[in-house]
Structure 1
Amino acid sequence: MIKSMTGFGRGSAGRGPNKIDVEIRSVNSRFLEMKFRGVALDPATEQKIRALLEKSIQRGNAQVRVELNISQDNQKLSFNKDRFEIIQDVIKKIHVSYGQRMSLSDIISTHDLLKAEEPDSINQSVIIKAVEHALNQLNEMREKEGKQIQDDILKRIKNLQNAIDSAEHISGNFKSEKQAQLQEKISELLNGESLDESRLIQEVAYIADRADVTEEIVRCRSHFDQLHSYLDREDPVGKRINFLIQEIGREINTIGSKSPQTDVTKHVVEMKGELEKIREQAQNIL
């Protein structure tokens, strides 16, 4: 089953002052990119998280937020003495110049005067456990969205198959019709003059063969089958699907250029529309 590159997961581990909350968001990207937010992680822990993401996510832009969930009862505060002395000097100047006094609450609410202290170290195993929980939830969401993408693409493959069948049916009589039209036009131009009949048949057949789309239709059907098989694979197939879509697009364009009939053109336009929808969906496939 295919996976989407878009997802969100949240995980927690530990308890009390050592409780860790982790959020991981991923969106589509050509490569694997990782950004970290929240508490500062030591290099060894960050490297271990990167290895987990690389194995689990494989491709996409992942943002990881690690937060230390400390209750107010357990939170330690530090007093910024230097900051307070600067503020106190400003307060004195305000009082002298304007006769205004500031309350204690005004002073305490000043930015950076009191700040929460982070612990000297955070248990690495707790962080990793929270990351694993978040990754599990993230991948559940990616699989769920991947199933929706898969169902949509399968529906559009069916539409492509129906359109190619219709185009084949219409173009089936085109060769004989083209031969008849060419022979009629040549006869009009010759105006009764004699011409090597076998040579005429060869030239007409050659021109008609150039308008034959049998090979393109056969290749399209083969590509449709290959696309269908990719959707059942467990390994990442997003890049292969994108390449296959380009090949299908080339075959459809050739069919359109070889078959100027209005009815075939209608089906070519329909196939191009379905293929573009598949292309949009494929951008988000792992």
Structure 2
Amino acid sequence: MTGYAAVRRDLHEAELFLSVRSVNHRALDIHLHLPPELERFEPALRALIRRYVARGHLEIHVKLTSLRRSAPVILNLPLLDAYLTAFRRAAAVHGLQGEPDLNSALRLPGMFEVAEPEPNLEMEALLASALEDALVMLNEQREREGLQIAAELRSRNAAIQAYAQRMQELSESMAKAIQARLEQRLQELLPGGSIDPQRLAQEVAYLAERSDIAEELTRLKIHADQLEQLLAAGDEIGKKLDFLLQEMQRETNTILAKAAGAGEAGLSLTDLALAAKAEIEKIREQAFNLE
């Protein structure tokens, strides 16, 4: 599910800004962007994220800004001594007189360093607290979105159950339709001839058995009930729901195959099965967003 949260924290003369953005993903995919001085805290932060989020692609950005007008500047005395010693040695080798110019020496690379505070336990606690607050806000957004999605899934599941009921009513009259179609076909093939009632009954029974969808409808209804129970439970249902929808899709495919062999009698059944299959596909698309 999608969501965004951001928090700010102050620590002495520094400001911490942390943002979390979540988009749909089948697994948990964490992308953590930290400034170099905070990278050592990454393992602990990843462990904290896993406590709050199970699925989704997460982009987490952390920015640390110093609020000081100036930072302590440190003269690199060992480096200065090394430069001066090297100058005097070169002067002695080449027979030169005089001392090196201090102003020129101080302009050499690496002569001054800006002292920045090292991350400590206080910084780690502040960072963890900021991330935890952001994840709580993110989950509140995701939960609201989840409730909206669940309501839509219930509506679509109710439509599937209604289609299944209409298919059951239609299938009960299908045997008579098959018999009428078969009699008409035989009359066309045997004009003026008599039809053996026993043979006709056998053919009707054979075709009716091939077109019987009672078992598929029973399983489809059971799966629809299980789907409703999953939504009511409110637990992590993403993977369970995906498996259940695969089973429902399999039943509708079988119904479609049997309806195709029932001639004109199966046309209405085909329309209903296709409508149910379309609802299942829409549920699968939304189930991708649920945990």
Q: Among 27, 30, 42, which residue is 1:46 paired with?
A: 42
The whole-number CA distance in structure 1 between the counterparts of 2:126 and 2:48 is 14
Instruction: Note the C-alpha offset of 1:283.
Output: 1.3
Which amino acid in 2 is paired with 1:272? Answer: K
> Bigger radius of gyration, 1 or 2?
2
Residue in 2 aligned with 1:133?
133
Q: Among 259, 282, 285, which residue is 2:287 paired with?
A: 282
- Structure 1: segments with no counterpart, 5+ residues: 79-115
Distance 1:76 1:11, change over 3 A: farther
Residue 210 of structure 1: SS of its match in structure 2?
Answer: helix
Residue in 1 aligned with 2:86?
none
Residue 259 of structure 1: SS of its match in structure 2?
Answer: helix
Q: Among 7, 14, 24, which residue is 1:11 paired with?
A: 7
Residue in 1 aligned with 2:277?
272
- Structure 2: segments with no counterpart, 5+ residues: 75-113, 261-265
Residue in 2 aligned with 1:110?
none
Cα pair 1:17 1:74 within 8 Å, conserved:
no
Instruction: Note the C-alpha offset of 1:72.
Output: 5.9
The whole-number CA distance in structure 2 between the counterparts of 1:74 and 1:159 is 67
State how many pairs are aligned: 247
The whole-number CA distance in structure 2 between the counterparts of 1:237 and 1:202 is 47
The whole-number CA distance in structure 1 between the counterparts of 2:172 and 2:274 is 19
Residue in 2 aligned with 1:119?
117
- Normalising by the residue count of structure 2, what TM-score does the alignment of the two structures yield? 0.74
Instruction: Note the C-alpha offset of 1:127.
Output: 0.5
Which amino acid in 1 is paired with 2:257? Answer: S
Greater RCO between the two (CA within 8 Å, min separation 6)? 1
How is 1:79-228 mapped onto 2 (pairs within 5 angstroms)? 119-122=117-120, 123-186=123-186, 189=189, 197-228=197-228
Q: In the alignment, is residue 231 of structure 1 matched against residue 236 of structure 2? A: no
Cα pair 1:175 1:209 within 8 Å, conserved:
no
Residue 63 of structure 1: SS of its match in structure 2?
Answer: strand
Distance 1:225 1:11, change over 3 A: same
Distance 1:75 1:269, change over 3 A: farther
Residue in 1 aligned with 2:78?
none
Cα pair 1:16 1:70 within 8 Å, conserved:
no
The whole-number CA distance in structure 2 between the counterparts of 1:170 and 1:119 is 77
Q: Among 61, 65, 70, which residue is 2:61 paired with?
A: 65
The whole-number CA distance in structure 2 between the counterparts of 1:53 and 1:274 is 34
Instruction: Note the C-alpha offset of 1:216.
Output: 1.2
Cα pair 1:167 1:264 within 8 Å, conserved:
yes
Residue 231 of structure 1: SS of its match in structure 2?
Answer: helix
Aligned-residue Cα RMSD (Å) equals 2.8
- Normalising by the residue count of structure 1, what TM-score does the alignment of the two structures yield? 0.76
Distance 1:200 1:77, change over 3 A: farther
Cα pair 2:37 2:119 within 8 Å, conserved:
no
Q: Which stretch of structure 1 is more off in the superposition, 264-273 or 218-227?
A: 264-273
The whole-number CA distance in structure 1 between the counterparts of 2:61 and 2:51 is 18
Distance 1:76 1:184, change over 3 A: farther
What do the CA deviations read for 1:260-279 (whole angstroms, capped 9, x no partner)? 43322222232222222111
Residue in 2 aligned with 1:109?
none
Q: Among 25, 28, 36, which residue is 1:32 paired with?
A: 28
